[in-house]
Amino acid sequence: MDFAAPYFSRQKSFVPLIQGAPEKSLQQIIVIPATREKELLSSVLSFCACTRPTHPVEIIVLINEPGQAGEEEREINRTAYGEMVQLSREMPVSWIKLYPLFQDGIPEKIAGVGNARKLGMDQALWRFRQIGIPEGLIVSFDADAVCDPDYLQALENQMKRMPRTRGLSIYFEHDLSRERNNELQRAAIISYETYLRTYKLALQQTGFPFSFHTVGSSFAVSASTYAMQGGMNRNKAGEDFYFLQKVIPLGNFLEINDTRILLSPRISDRVPFGTGAAMQKLLREGQSQFLTYHLDAFHDMEILFRSAAVYFGMDREETDRRMKELPEPLLQFLLLNSFGEALTEMNRNASGENTFLKRFYQWFNAFRVLKYLNYSHKAHYRKIPASEAGKQILDRMGIQYINQPTDEQILLELRRYERGGAGLAG
């Protein structure tokens, strides 16, 4: 069966850009979008330094350039493309095939990382379609990131252990060593990564079943899942978050914490949010602490999520009575969003508790979580520094650390915990 035929029947403008059939044992295709990128060569070479996996690997580099690009941007892109073409002819390892692609003149309306990621991932899907490998892994990466030497093996081993895996969230860290001589910028990236980790861990503690990092440089999906979920979107930012919210609830979505992606902490103006944009905003305001949501707002959701199953089979009168026991900020949010009516509809269409819970989290999904957090902080809670939230989370998890830890030590403990080895910081 042609698993990707329905997808490509809808992609009227798709054109295969890579000549030659892939090797039949291909299992991983890395997709790297790039524009105005001076560190692309280091990114690609980090894969060449990896321990060889059992199966061959392909890398698709999609250098994309908007039609209104300036002369400096055009020069950087052409230099990068030339380096990629040269490297593709002289790859230091024979088991990686590099395919540089160049797309210029992209209309302003769609130009951006989402469009570039989609173009590259569509090419990857086509490659897996050619050899009939629906479980092939399409790996999303960024042009300013590098991977650890065990990265490719770790991904391959995961797919061997669980062939039905739909997607992966892969462990990442920002490279703190690159900001040794800039204290403000170093403090800012420590705070921003702490914010990412505290958000994910705080949400995980609520019992929310879909708590994963959604970072564009550190996820992978199977080819069949990519096709089934309609492929990547063209959002100029947040394309990773929006795409993964379609994939994660399907199940068989896992974390990989036994390898690492090292992200750049640099400032960037290419997207309106993400690492680069967050760094730019903090430093423009002369700040080094990223503010995050108060943990009491997560506790509100925990009260609801931990008791979600009790709403199964409840009539409307009992539902309304039960809702009144919830914390006031959450209650007001639920009333504004017609939660009672939604529960009635869930029960009407649920044949059992599992079906009900599936529908419950389709309604109270990651988007609604964000909406609640933003709503509750307008009138009920104040945002707190990320390091303060990090320390509170460590306390709640019973993780011991040194007295009066620095912001960096708090981040290091959060990293240890996520990798499964939290302990005393030195």
Do 30 and 10 belong together in one domain?
yes
- In a 13 Å sphere around the CA of 361, the CA atoms on its Cβ side amount to 23
Q: Which residues pair with 256 in a beta bridge?
A: 170
Q: Mean per-residue pLDDT for 211-221?
A: 96
Q: Are residues 31 and 107 in the same domain?
A: yes
- pLDDT band with cut points at 50, 70 and 90 for residue 335: very high
In this predicted structure, the answer to whether residue 333 has a pLDDT above a threshold of 70 is yes
Instruction: Give me the pLDDT at residue 425, please.
Output: 30
Q: Are residues 364 and 271 part of one domain?
A: no
Residue 416 forms part of a structural domain = no
Looking at the structure, do residues 268 and 138 belong to the same domain, yes or no?
yes
| Residue 408 domain-assigned (yes or no) | no
Helices 407-418 and 386-396 pack at an angle, to 10 degrees, of: 50
For 337, the domain range is 295-379
Query: What's the average model confidence in pLDDT over 315-321?
Result: 96
> Do 167 and 146 sit in the same domain of this protein?
yes
Question: What pLDDT score does 272 carry?
Answer: 47
> Are both 30 and 110 inside the same structural domain?
yes
pLDDT in tens, 249-306: 999 999 999 999 999 886 655 544 555 566 566 666 666 688 999 999 999 999 999 9
Asked whether residue 159 falls in the same domain as residue 183, the answer is yes
CATH number at residue 170: 3.90.550.10
* The pair of three-digit structure tokens given for residue 99, joined into one six-digit string: 């395919």
Beta bridge partners of 98: 59
Q: Do 242 and 350 share a structural domain?
A: no
Query: How many other CB atoms sit within 10 Å of the CB of residue 245?
Result: 16
SS3 306: coil
Q: Is residue 407 domain-resident?
A: no
- 245: in domain: yes
Last residue of a domain, one of 287, 307, 341: 287
Query: In terms of domains, do 282 and 303 share one?
Result: no
pLDDT band with cut points at 50, 70 and 90 for residue 116? very high
On whether residue 404 sits in a domain, the answer given is: no
pLDDT band at 181 (very low <50, low <70, confident <90, very high): low
Domain assignment of residue 405, yes or no: no
Q: 233 and 366 share a domain? A: no
User: Angle 316-323/339-348 helices, nearest 10 degrees?
Assistant: 140
Please identify, among 231, 252, 287, the residue that sits at the C-terminal boundary of a domain.
287
Same domain, 11 and 131: yes
Q: Convert the pLDDT of each residue in 123-145 to its tens digit.
A: 999 999 999 999 999 999 999 99
pLDDT number for residue 426: 26
Binned at pLDDT 50, 70 and 90, residue 402 comes out as confident
pLDDT tens for 28-76 read 999 999 999 998 999 999 999 999 999 999 999 999 999 999 999 999 9
What distance in Å separates the CA atoms of residue 227 and residue 221, rounded to the nearest whole number?
10
Are 65 and 87 within one domain? yes
Residue 422: per-residue pLDDT? 36
- The rounded radius of gyration (Å) of the Cα atoms in the chain is 23
Domain boundary residue among 287, 319, 350?
287
Task: Name 96's Cβ contacts closer than 8 Å, sequence gap at least 6.
Answer: 47, 48, 56, 57, 58, 59
Q: What angle do CA 26, 173, 276 make, to 5 degrees?
A: 100
424 within domain boundaries: no
Quickly state the pLDDT bin for 183 (edges 50, 70, 90): confident
Residue 155 domain-assigned (yes or no) = yes
With beta carbons less than 8 A apart as the criterion, state whether 137 and 220 touch: yes
Q: Do 201 and 152 meet the contact criterion of CB atoms below 8 Å apart?
A: no
Instruction: Give me the number of domains the chain comprises.
Output: 2
